Every structure is written in structure tokens, then in C-alpha cells.
Structure 1
Amino acid sequence: MPASAAPAYALIATDLDGTLLRGDDSVSGRTRAALGRAAAAGARHLVVTGRPAPRVRPLLRSLGGTGLAVCGQGAQLYDAGADRMLWSVTLDRETAETALGKIEAEVGEVYAAVDQDGVDGRTLIEPGYRMPHPTLPAERVGRRGELWRAPISKVLLRHPRLSDDELAAAARGAVGPLASVTMSGPGTVELQPCGITKATGLALAAARLGLGPGDALAFGDMPNDIPMFRWAARGVAMAGAHPELKAVADEVTTSNEDDGVAVVLDRLFV
């Protein structure tokens, strides 16, 4: 690509788990190099993840990221350089508790966790909840009522018997307009503020950069990436992506373990 040419896509939006990250939470050397070439060509890289900002901060530092990151399924816009939240939306705690009660009325007992709002917010887990990512820190509380002791960005749910797809479908039917239901990875069904998606946060971040949907190339692997794919000019699903995401993707690349993001970037940014 000539030095004066505009990049094929000026905005590269990548999910983290199952997409940019390998199973051990690392970013491969090939992927780092591909992102570096894209940046040299003038493209901006945005992490767009379900992880809350405090759980993204160490990774951004390792990548040398000092710009914006979309966190908490789009409910948080985080400035890594300033280590501050530029925008956030919380899930009303009474609404969350009501939604949980409606879900349990349909499917029986579920186990819950919450991500607290803010750059120093903690992840709290109630008895019986098992973290899907054991490398991420969490604080166990003694009873559910303690989950609501500070503002939250989302609720995470697990069921002892139902599959993620079954739990997500039941939750959507039970909560109605109280909250949005997303599925962001194995063992990760979530309740978030109604109307908030990854596309919400990505659109806000892009606008701050003077960019729009036509500039964006998005990578993901789960149904929570569907709104982002619909917003962006092109959506690329990983080889192991959920069938619902593959159905709306423009392209399917190799897996996260096989540098699927880099495979596409290597083609676009030579």
C-alpha cells in the first residue's frame, strides 16, 4: 500500500475472548505485528469487549494501547491513556434483582455475578457461581443481596443444567423490556441495560475518532458481536464462532488459536 493511500479500513474493532486472545489470554506475535502494520497504514484499533474496564486495563497496557476501548458489552467507553471512564451506563439494581426473580420463576435457581461500574469496579460472585475465565479476578460474597451494594454495569448468569443457548432464550422471554440479554462466551449469559450493545459503544467511540460504520472492520465470535457486525461495514467471524454470528458475518477466518485476525489483516495491510 503506498504511504499516501488511505487504509482499506480506518477502524479495526476486535472482540477479545475467542477472537483477539488465544485460550491462555495472550496475543500472538503474528497478531501484534499485523495490528502494527495496520496502525502504520493509518488504521485505528479498538478493543470492543464484554469484559469490564478494570479487566481490560492490564491487556491494553501489554498491547501498548493508550486510546479508547469499548468495555462491558458497550456500556463503558474507557480512555486507556488517562485511565478514566468517558461514558458509562449502569443497570438499575432493583431492575436487575427483579429480572433475576423472573428468570428463576421460569427455569429454577440460577447462579449470578455482577460487574461493578467504574475503572476500579470489582466482579462479585454469589455462592455457586463459577467464573468462566478463571484467570479473571473475582470476589465471592456470602449472599445474593451483597451483589447490589454498589452500581453495576451488568449481571452474569449460569444455570446448573441448561445450556447457554437455552438459558439465554429463557432469560429473554422472562425479562422482556427490563434488560438486554446477551451471550458472550461459554458459560457467559448476561443481563445489561436495555438497548445497550457493543454497537452502542463502538458507534460512540468511532464518532470521537471522526469515523463511522463505513470505516469499520469488526472481528468476533459470539452472538453479542452481532450488533457490532450489523453496524460495521464488514464483519469477520472466527472459525469457532457461534452459528448465529456466522450467519450474519461477511467472512469466516481461521480460529483465534490460528491467528484468525492476523490472517485477514495480513491480506488487507501488506
Structure 2
Amino acid sequence: MKLSALVVARDEAARLPPCLASLAPADELVVVLDRSTDASAEIARAHGARILEGAWALEGERRNAGIAACTGDWILEVDADERVPPELWPVLRRVIASSPHGFHRVRIDNYVGKRLIRHGWGGSFGTTLKPILFRRGAKHWRAQRVHPGLDWTGSEGERIEGIGIRHEVDRDISDMLRRLDRYSSAKAADLLAEGRIGSLPDNIRRCLSRILKCYVGRGGYKEGGWGLLIALCAGLFPLLAHLKARLEPDRHR
């Protein structure tokens, strides 16, 4: 079985070298560069990647373009801030050699700076499992700007949880808050484009529900103040997106 590794990035020259180095065991490396102006293309070429350059308004569209460019029987789709540990590759190979399924979720180990935070992720602000190993043709991203939905062909197989992919999600608290601002602005644009801004009371309820779910249901309390911070960001994400779409629509269309 041929395994393609796919990375979609924009101006990620600082993060690409360790990411691409960790993907060396793949049979094919495809890098999609969306309006990149830094040295990302040169870095990708130095790692033997096939490069697809272009400009896509929606995250779903550029990810689908990358999937279409892969020629492997299976695809491993990772982000520039993720690293695949060497000990995970034999596991991936064993799975694709025998799996009858369309896709598998893989464990994600999320780091803020040098701190591993295992508990409390959720609410579209982070996850500890992602469906990133899939057969070619099984995965299709929807046309949205942030956290686009997915359509699948085929069933879900066993979860790969013994070894996790290292995800350097945020550098520090300020970086986390900047990510919340970016994500909520992109989501506001999606809400306006889809004509479904929703109501303030509903989004307040969603905010409180997500905070409770992440902090209590997903064990964020085990991480102390970090868990509380992640829960607050997860809850504020839909509320901020709603308020940006309602109060500043011209800035987010």
C-alpha cells in the first residue's frame, strides 16, 4: 500500500522543516502552499515534496486540492505544526496493510509551549483525536473557512491511540488568544456567508455548555489553570463569532 503524506500550509517556513522531516518515511510527500510569500516552497523542495501552489479563499477548498494531488492508496494529512514520531510509522503501516475501512482517527498530543496538555480540549478549539489517516477518495472537506465539516465514504476503523502525533498548538497564552481571535473571525465570515448568525441567547448557552463540557466532562480541571483557559476559549469561540458577525458584518464578509 502506497502512503502519501499531505501538508497544507501558508507562510510556515519556521515550522515546516521539523514537520516535513518527520514525514520522510511516507512514500510520497505533497505540500500545498496557499499564497505563501516566505521560504516555504524552497523548504518543501529540499525535503523532496511535490508542491501545489495557489490561492484558495476557503480552508476546505485548499485541503481538497491537496487530497486530489495525492496518488497514494492511503493519505496521512497533517498540519505544519504537527510532528509524526518515528515509532508511529510502523503502526500506520500495519493499519493500512489490513484495514477494510475508509478512515482512522489518530491520537494528538497537544503542547502549549513545552507543556503537554492532555485533557480539556474540545468545542472546535482543539482535539485529542483526528481523522487524518484515510483512503484516497474517502474524505471530502466542506466549503468553509475554519474547521470545515467532513463528508466520508466508507466506515471508521479502529482508533490509533497508543502513540500520538505531537501538535505544537500554541506557543504561549498570548498565542492561544490570537488563535481564538483568528478562528472566531473566520467563523463569523462563514456564518455571514451561510446566512445563519443565530441568536445571542442561543450562543450564550453554547458558550456556557462548552465551558462546562471541556472543563468537567473532558477533564480540563485536571490541568489546573490551563484547563480553565482552554475551556474558556472553547466556549467563547462560537459566542465571539456570533458577535463579530452581528456587530461588525462589513469587516467579516
TM-score category of the 2 structures, normalised to the smaller one: under 0.3
TM-score (norm 1): 0.26
Q: Which has the higher helix share?
A: 2
Higher relative contact order (CA 8 A, sep 6+): 1
TM-score (norm 2): 0.27
